[in-house]
Amino acid sequence: MGGCVGRQRGESPSGQRADRRSRNSGGNARKRAGRNEPLKKERPKWKSEYPMTDGQLRSKRDEFWDTAPAFEGRKEIWDALKAAAYAVESNDHELAQAILDGANVMLPYGSLTECYDELGNRYQLPVYCLAPPVNLITENCDDDGTDAPELPSNVKREFQLKVRLSTGKDVKLTVSMADTIGQLKKQLFAEEGLEPAWQRWFFSGKLLTDKIRLQETKIQKDFVIQVIINQPSSPS
């Protein structure tokens, strides 16, 4: 009996220590979640294990965004982080910060690599979702299209594309699948007077860069492209 009593007494302090460690760990997590610093403007620098093209980088990111919400956290927060990450890559930190503030996302260290929502859930974004690697392979793309292969006729067929501006206005553009986003920005400028540099085009939560063709977005004629307008305020 004495041995049994001795083991019970010996187990109590270690159990208390483990319980204290558990409470301290939870307290530290809550303390980090309570901190919130502005999003830093500098983007992380990293090197891939192997040189990758822009297309391979986009595929790697798409795979992460498609699978991340299935593990933990809330889908609406993942959507906000995705939009903020694309805004950061386009050097629009004001838009990224506005997205984070609207979703009540907290950054303990001012970086999207570690984030918390208002419930204390933790979110971590890999570095490849925030910046391209230093050994990215650039793909030459001539704007005049002289070296580009001949596109099929159905790609050149024109149709009406609905574009929804962040001002709330819908605009219809006459486009073809062969058109690039840069060309469409110029067309929107001709019709609405919105400088291409003010325009940020998004489809399915993904930022569309100037050299992407419509056929690459897999958009259909009944779909809508979102265009965020960042028009500089005129001096008073």
CATH topology of domain 153-229: Ubiquitin-like (UB roll) (3.10.20)
Q: Nearest Cα to 183, choosing from 226, 213, 155, 141?
A: 213
What tokens appear for 149 in the block? 């292969």
Query: Which of 12-21, 40-49, 62-71, 219-228 ranks highest by mean pLDDT?
Result: 40-49
- Distances from the Cα of 44 to the Cα of 49, 95, 96, 127, 140, angstroms: 16, 19, 16, 7, 25
Q: What is the pTM of this model?
A: 0.49
Fold of 33-129: Bacteriocin As-48; Chain A (1.20.225)
Query: What's the rounded mean pLDDT across residues 46-53?
Result: 83
Residue 119 predicted with pLDDT over 60:
yes
| Predicted confidence (pLDDT) at residue 7 exceeds the cutoff of 60 | no
Question: How many Cβ atoms from other residues are within 10 Å of residue 225's Cβ?
Answer: 21
Assigned token pair, 133: 């690697």
Query: What's the mean pLDDT in 49-61?
Result: 82
* Mean pLDDT, the chain, whole residue set: 77
What are the residue boundaries of the structural domains of the chain, listed by start? 33-129, 153-229
Confidence of residue 234 (pLDDT cuts 50, 70, 90): low
The pLDDT score that the predictor gives to residue 14 is 46
Alpha-carbon distance 9 to 33, whole Å? Answer: 37
23 pLDDT band, cuts 50/70/90, is very low
Would you place residue 100 in the very low, low, confident or very high pLDDT band (cuts 50, 70, 90)? Answer: very high
